[in-house]
Amino acid sequence: MAVSNIAVTHAKNGVIEAEVVSARLISPHFVRLTVAGDELVDWRHLGFDQWFRLAVPVAEGTRFDNLSGTYDMAGYLRYLTLPRATRPVIRNYTVREFRPETLELDIDFVVHGDDGVAGPWAGSLPIGASVGLIDQGCGYQPVVADSTVLVGDESALPAVLGILRDLPRDTRGHALVELGDLADRQEVDAPDGIDLHWIVRRPEDAPGAAALEHLRQLPAFDGSVYAFAAGESKLATGARRHFVNERGAPKGNVTFCGYWRAA
Ligand SMILES: Cc1cc2nc3c(=O)[nH]c(=O)nc-3n(C[C@H](O)[C@H](O)[C@H](O)COP(=O)(O)OP(=O)(O)OC[C@H]3O[C@@H](n4cnc5c(N)ncnc54)[C@H](O)[C@@H]3O)c2cc1C
């Protein structure tokens, strides 16, 4: 991960293998994969922005059984010792929905072009592929505050919408989501006291710039604030600076995480 102050909480169950059972383009730049399998009976479902390391198969014979069950520094070093030919590529993703009754888990991928591994792989609609999931817990770790503000770009849309879905219904505040294309908006289940702002990025703008500008224009928040900011690195760090330097929030009231880094 690029820049972040989130704490990782591993589940005890290690790598969970599952199969892609459904793959569809849900909007111009998002593919939803549904993975399913008996091992998901052990999935520690936390809701909110729960995320995991996704082991993506990149070749025939990719193995998941020799991965470390905790993807911390030791797990990463162990990963590096595995034969390249059969080791998966690891990327970070958010649980969009988990359905314990059918042991199905949805993942929404930004399809961001031909670069990289996970995005193009999801874009190939890989039904039948095996994947591995290593639970990493929730980044969202609120402190008690009068207002809650969530800020993200496309990559954090699953996180922001998951948090909104699971927030106490009396939560007040704002959620800002920057998109390159408003056609990527999704249905939102949010508390009535949250103002949702869909912000469109102009093609000439750096990722995150429009969301940061919008954030600066918001009126003073009622009382204290807890903020969660995720997405392109500069959006995450820029939002954190804004809350701390311009809104007077204690550093501990801001959770931020760079989800990807613009080239
Ligand atoms: C905690 C966490 C949760 C995340 N949850 C999700 C999620 O649910 N859905 C999701 O889509 N992403 C999510 N991400 C972001 C995702 O891990 C990155 O976008 C990742 O880089 C994608 O891997 P890749 O193999 O496609 O591209 P990479 O090989 O990592 O990068 C290749 C190139 O693509 C560019 N790139 C990567 N991601 C994007 C993007 N989103 N938009 C434009 N260009 C990009 C890079 O700048 C680079 O030039 C999450 C990240 C974190 C840390």
Domain match, 151 and 132 both: no
Task: Tell me what pLDDT residue 72 has.
Answer: 84
Q: How far apart are CA 229 and CA 257, in angstroms?
A: 6
For residue 43, report the phi and psi dihedrals to the nearest 5 degrees.
-65, 130
Probe ligand 1: pick from 112, 163, 257, max atoms within 8 Å of CB? 112
For residue 19, report the phi and psi dihedrals to the nearest 5 degrees.
-120, 140
111 CA distance to ligand 1 middle (Å): 9
Q: pLDDT class for 128, splitting at 50, 70, 90?
A: very high
In a domain, 256, yes or no: yes
Short-list 219, 221, 163, CA closest to 190: 163
Q: By percentage, how much of the chain surpasses pLDDT 70?
A: 99
What is the domain range of residue 160? Answer: 147-260
Determine which residue's CA is closest to atom 44 belonging to ligand 1.
112
Domain match, 132 and 158 both: no
Q: What is the pTM of this model?
A: 0.97
- Between 58 and 177, the more confident residue is 177
User: Per DSSP, which regions of the chain are E strands?
Assistant: 16-27, 30-36, 51-56, 89-94, 97-99, 104-110, 130-137, 147-152, 173-179, 194-200, 225-232, 254-260
Rg (Cα) of the chain, in Å, rounded? 18
Domain match, 190 and 118 both: no
| Listed residues 85, 102, 137: the one ending a domain | 137
Q: How far apart are CA 69 and CA 215, in angstroms?
A: 39
Domain match, 69 and 41 both: yes
Q: How far apart are CA 152 and CA 158, in angstroms?
A: 10
Q: What CATH number is attached to the domain comprising 100?
A: 2.40.30.10
Where is average pLDDT lowest: 17-21, 56-60, 104-108?
56-60
Give mean pLDDT, residues 100-116: 97
Q: pLDDT class for 193, splitting at 50, 70, 90?
A: very high
Q: pLDDT class for 62, splitting at 50, 70, 90?
A: very high
Probe ligand 1: pick from 92, 165, 233, max atoms within 8 Å of CB? 92
For residue 1, pLDDT beyond 60: no
Q: What separation in angstroms does the CA of 230 have from each of 37, 88, 122, 189?
A: 30, 25, 21, 19
Determine which residue's CA is closest to atom 49 belonging to ligand 1.
263
Question: What is the token pair recorded at 257?
Answer: 């995480």
Domains in the chain: how many in total? 2
In a domain, 86, yes or no: yes
In a domain, 231, yes or no: yes
Domain match, 74 and 170 both: no
Question: What is the token pair recorded at 5?
Answer: 């102050």
248 CA distance to ligand 1 middle (Å): 31
In a domain, 10, yes or no: no
Domain match, 250 and 181 both: yes
Domain match, 226 and 184 both: yes
Domain match, 103 and 189 both: no
For residue 255, pLDDT beyond 80: yes
Task: Tell me what pLDDT residue 220 has.
Answer: 95
Q: By percentage, how much of the chain surpasses pLDDT 90?
A: 88
In a domain, 242, yes or no: yes
The residue behind tokens 């990782």 is 8
CB atoms within 10 A of CB 223: 9
In a domain, 9, yes or no: no
260 CA distance to ligand 1 middle (Å): 5
Task: Tell me what pLDDT residue 2 has.
Answer: 58
Give mean pLDDT, residues 215-239: 97
Task: Tell me what pLDDT residue 216 has.
Answer: 98
In a domain, 1, yes or no: no
In a domain, 21, yes or no: yes
| Listed residues 104, 137, 170: the one ending a domain | 137
191 CA distance to ligand 1 middle (Å): 28
Probe ligand 1: pick from 34, 155, 234, max atoms within 8 Å of CB? 155
Domain match, 63 and 173 both: no
Residues making up the chain, counted from first to last: 263
Task: Tell me what pLDDT residue 158 has.
Answer: 98
Task: Tell me what pLDDT residue 9 has.
Answer: 80
Encode pLDDT of 233-250 as tens digits: 999 999 999 999 999 999
Short-list 31, 56, 51, CA closest to 117: 56
Domain match, 131 and 50 both: yes
Q: What CATH number is attached to the domain comprising 170?
A: 3.40.50.80
CB atoms within 10 A of CB 49: 27
Domain match, 88 and 197 both: no
| Listed residues 137, 156, 184: the one ending a domain | 137
Domain match, 20 and 123 both: yes
Q: Are 109 and 187 in contact (CB under 8 A)?
A: no
Within its chain, how far is the Cα of 190 from the centroid? 17
